[in-house]
Amino acid sequence: MKQAFQSPSGILLALILAIAFIGPLLPLADPLAMDVAARFGGPSAAHPLGQDEYGRDLLSRLVHALRSAILISGGAAMISAVIGVSVGVVAGYVRGFSEALSMRVMDVILCFPPLLLAMLAATLYGAGPSTLVPVLALVFVPSFTRVAHASVMTVRGQDYVDATRLMGASATRIIFRTILPNIVGPLFVQFSFVVVMSVILESGLSFLGLGVLPPQPSLGMMIGTARSTFAQEPWLLLAPCLSLIVLVLVLNAFCDHLRQLFDPRRESGA
């Protein structure tokens, strides 16, 4: 774990996380406070990055948007990891009917394009984070199930699992104490990929107005509304775009780094 953050991408990610979570505690302007008189105001001491079309502080909005992007996608990834891994591990270990059933259900979920599924849910249950998180979680469950299932299949064939069975260990003990520790590598990598995907999907939905509800700031929504005033004030569009690009690139680089760390050929061991 230590090694994971001892890399350029790890340091950058730590920095972004720090900004997103400590940012709201800093003496920044209220991201929701409007000041229509000073709309499109340029950078000043009170508003380092300027003001948007309602005169709200851009820097403060970016920090809050970053925070909600990370919370929503991180939370969704967490939920789908818990569900997906449990289903995958049970399917891979128990086999038989439960395996066939759960893997086919996952195939059905995979058939829906993620964006369409999310739009459907948002229309049915209304937009907002309380719909967004479960929908994102549902969309990514199959990816975890498949990775967990495949890894369990490899590990359960190893002699040390048979050896543990011969010691008289119960199925639960074998799953939690023998198999799970040996498949965390690929699962961890999958988790970081899913976070990246959720960030992209979340901003896409917010861009369409199906994600985070206004006036709460979100990167996708900020990009969406700034389109109309692009000619007048290009920076309002560029700033959230750049933030999104940096976030995704850093997360991607971090994923690659993690994947290398867990590569079995590295003989990572401990």
Q: Which residues bind another protein (CB under 8 A)?
A: 158-160, 162-170, 173, 178, 181-182, 267, 269-270
Q: Please report how close the Cβ of residue 260 comes to another protein at its closest, in angstroms.
A: 17
* Cβ contact 66:19 at 8 Å: yes
What is the CB neighbour count within 10 angstroms for residue 61? Answer: 27
Integer Cα distance of 241 and 219 in angstroms:
8
User: Which residue lies nearer to another protein by CB, 169 or 253?
Assistant: 169
Query: Which of residues 181 and 215 has its CB atom nearest to another protein in the complex?
Result: 181
59 C-beta neighbours (distance < 10 Å), count: 19
- With respect to another protein, which residue has the nearer C-beta, 116 or 265? 265
Least separation in angstroms between CB 265 and another protein:
12
3-state class of 51 per DSSP? strand
Which of residues 44 and 154 has its CB atom nearest to another protein in the complex? 154
Cβ 173 to another protein shortest distance, Å: 7
Nearer to another protein, 19 or 150 (CB): 150
DSSP secondary-structure letter at 37?
G
**3-class DSSP assignment, residue 130:** helix
Least distance in angstroms from the C-beta of 57 to another protein = 49
Distance between CA 35 and CA 61 in Å, rounded?
14
155 versus 199: smaller Cβ distance to another protein:
155
| Residues 172, 110 contacting (CB under 8 angstroms) | no
Q: Find all residues with CB under 8 Å of 208, minimum gap 6, and list them.
A: 119, 220, 224
Tokens, residue 217: 């700031």
Compare residues 174 and 248 and give the one whose CB is closer to another protein. 174
- Residue 170: CB minimum distance to another protein, A: 8
Q: Residue 111: what are its φ and ψ, rounded to 5°?
A: -70, -25
- First vs last Cα of the chain: how many Å apart? 10
Query: How near is the Cβ of 2 to another protein at its closest, in Å?
Result: 17
* CB 178 to another protein: min, Å: 6
* 258 phi and psi angles, rounded to 5 deg: -60, -45
